[in-house]
Structure 1
Amino acid sequence: MRIFAGLVAILCLALPIAAQQKLAFDITSVRENKSGIGPGSKEPNTNVPLGPGNVYSPTGGQLNLRNIEFLQIISFAWKLTLPQRDAFRDMAPPWAREARFDIQARTDKSDVTKDELRLMMRSLLEERFGLVVHYETRTASVYSLQLLKPDTFGPHFRKHTGTCSTDFKGKTTDDADAEGYPQVCGGLLMLAGSNSTHFRIGARDMPITVFATSLTGWGDLGRPVVNDTGITGNIDFILDFIPPYAQAAAGADVEGQGFQEALHKQLGVKLEPQKQPVPVLVLDHIDHLSEN
């Protein structure tokens, strides 16, 4: 389902990570995983969340990925949105669209940040796959995210204040504060829905750009979402809604708010169709894996 792709892979409609210094892992092992998915395969697993947020329990400089899609690895390294990832898939050779890999990597920098791991992954992809990419700005159909009323937030949407931890260790997605917001900051978390047909997604201390671009996957919108709310800082939110596929299947028999209605009533925002310039990661060159 595209909503899960949006949570895992999506990502922020931003230019490359600001820190552009050349960083690299000290030790790496990269192998194609041909076990596939489903019965008899190795379950996909990672010790570092690959989504666009900052949720990250320090691993002592270790990054371990098992049976992860190559395109998801690209998305992690460049914080790709779902539309950016789809555009990159269209440029990629057939093997890159289907391949899955195991990667064990280590850096001697024990206090490495998640964004530094992204830069190290870029170096690994350049070295092992000869990957060359660049950004281009292209005009595309988008949704403009706007407040329904200027400077007015919905009941489950607010500017973030204070401090909180991005360390997920020892916590679950059910851990919430007194107002129902996640205790862990910096990541998009799937919470317990109000009933079995609903999704409930929340975050604290989330960049507004990451929130905006994630809406594409949650609402199965088919186009990027651009932040035009006027909000520049980080936000907290909780959104409980019936996903589009469930609403279509159940029709009038399902109770609760659909995606667009939930945006209006819970968050006080709306989506307006427009054409705007957006950044696209363009593939210049890629080779199949150079074996260890």
Structure 2
Amino acid sequence: MRIVAGLLAILSLALPITAQQKLAFDVASIRENKSVEGPGGEPPQTNVPLGPGNVYSPTGGQLNVRNMDFLVLVSFAYRMTVPQQDAFRDMAPKWVTEARFDIQARTDKTDVTKDELRLMMRSLLADRFGLVVHYETRTASVYSLQLLKPDTFGPHFRKHTGTCSKDFKGKTTVDADAEGYPEVCGGLLLLSGSASTHFRIGARDMPMSVFATSLTGWGDLGRPVVNDTGITGNIDFVLDFVSPYAQAAAGTDVDGQGFQEALHKQLGVKLESQKQPVPVLVLDHIERLSEN
């Protein structure tokens, strides 16, 4: 489901593929999970949120992943956008989109950050799967994110001020503060209290690059979104909209604003169709995990 994929495909300022210092787990075990898929099957589990946001509850250096799609692991390591995931899927062998894996890994760096875990995941994927990738810039159809009126924010959109916790504590949803914004900083979060046909998402202290690229997944837009608002610094926002799937199923009878209408009225931004250069993560080499 592309809406759910939007949670996993929010791009922040990308980590360089080649870090100055290679980071790796001190101990790591990875194996393919061949349990039953679908209803009644084992759900994916992780003690670290694998989306590209910064929400993260420190685990003392432990990373435990169960029954996770391989593409999610690559997306976590490289903070891939939804279009980057789609392009990677087209380049990869079929098993990349089908295989699921369990990981138990540990670093002696007990205060490891989430970005350091990403770099360690890169090393693990390179070591066990021979994964080699590089970025290329290609011209593609995009949506240019622009303010409806220069220097004017919508009622649920503002520049970030103040401080707040980035400790997500493993929640699937978070509560809002007195002004309706999430209590937790640093990631795109699903807020409590949406109607059954609505999604209500928000963030505090989020870079504009993260906000812009997150829109592809949430709006099921099918192309990258480029930040052309001119906004500098981090932002806070809340957006309540009718799921594109609920809107398609219910037609004009559904109560609430569609995705792009909500962008206009709640945030004061719009999407303009353009062609622009965008970064693409290119797959050079990959091997399936050995059974040995």
TM-score class, shorter: over 0.9
Equivalent residue, structure 2, for 1:127? 127
Aligned to 1:24: 24
* In structure 1, distance between residues paired with 2:170 and 2:15: 31
Partners of 1:174 and 1:191 within 8 A in 2: yes
Task: Go from structure 1 to structure 2 and tell me whether the alpha carbon gap of 1:20 and 1:244 turns closer, same or farther (over 3 Å shift).
Answer: farther
d(CA) in 2 for partners of 1:157 and 1:34? 44
Amino acid in the other structure paired with 1:259: F
Matched residue SS, 2:190: strand
Q: Equivalent residue for 1:183?
A: 183
Which segments of 5 or more consecutive residues in structure 2 lack a partner in the other structure?
none
Partner in structure 2 of residue 10 of structure 1: 9
Letter aligned with residue 15 of structure 2: P
1:172–1:76 Cα change, 3 Å: closer
Counterpart for residue 223 of structure 2: 223
**Identity rate of aligned residues, in percent?**
82
Q: Which runs of 5+ in 1 are unaligned?
A: none
Shift of 1:172: 6.7
CA contact (8 A) 1:16 1:78 kept: yes
Paired residue total = 291
Q: Equivalent residues in 2 for 1:5-84 (5 A)?
A: 5-7=5-7, 9-12=8-11, 14-17=13-16, 20-84=20-84
Distance 1:249 1:171, change over 3 A: closer
**What secondary structure is seen at the aligned counterpart in 1 of 2:24?**
coil
**Amino acid aligned to 1:212:** A
Counterpart for residue 286 of structure 1: 286
Q: Which residue in 1 is equivalent to 2:240? A: 240
Backbone CA RMSD of aligned residues: 1.6
Aligned AA for 2:145? Answer: L
Please give the alpha-carbon distance, in whole angstroms, between the structure 2 residues aligned to 1:183 and 1:243.
23
In structure 2, the residue corresponding to 1:52 is in which secondary structure?
Answer: coil
Deviation string for 1:142-164 (max 9, x for gaps)?
A: 00000111111000001111221
Change (3 A) 1:139 1:65: same
CA deviation profile, 1:207-228 (whole Å, cap 9, x unmatched)? 1111111111111111000011
Alignment partners' CA distance in 2, 1:259 and 1:268: 13
- Say whether the 8 Å CA contact 2:47–2:170 is kept in structure 1: no
Compute the displacement of 1:284 (Å): 0.4
Change (3 A) 1:13 1:48: closer
**If the length of structure 2 is used for normalisation, what is the TM-score?**
0.96
Q: Could you tell me which amino acid in structure 2 is paired with residue 196 of structure 1?
A: S
1:164-203 matches, cutoff 5 A: 164-169=164-169, 173-203=173-203
Q: What secondary structure, in the 3-state scheme, does the structure 1 residue paired with 2:275 have?
A: strand
Separation in structure 1 between the aligned mates of residue 105 and residue 43 of structure 2, nearest angstrom: 19
- Once the 2 structures are TM-superposed, how far is the Cα of residue 58 of structure 1 from its aligned partner? 0.2
State the alpha-carbon separation in 1 of the partners of residues 145 and 12 from structure 2. 13
1:100-115 to structure 2, matched below 5 A, reads 100-115=100-115
Q: Is the 8 A contact 2:176 2:191 kept in 1?
A: no
Q: Which moved more, 1:224-233 or 1:112-121?
A: 224-233
Are 2:146 and 1:146 aligned? yes
Contact in 2 for aligned 1:14/1:279 (Cα 8 Å): no
> 2-side partners of 1:278 and 1:185: how far apart?
27
Cα distance, 1:257–1:39 mapped onto 2, change above 3 Å: closer
Q: 1:24 to 1:291 in 2, by over 3 A?
A: farther
Which TM-score applies when normalising by structure 1? 0.96
- Give 1:171 shift: 6.3
Match of 1:95?
A: 95
How far apart in 1 are the matches of 2:236 and 2:85?
26
Kept in 1, the 8 Å contact 2:12–2:52? The answer is no
Write the letter of the residue equivalent to 1:12. L
SS at match of 2:117: helix
Q: Report deviation, 1:197.
A: 1.2
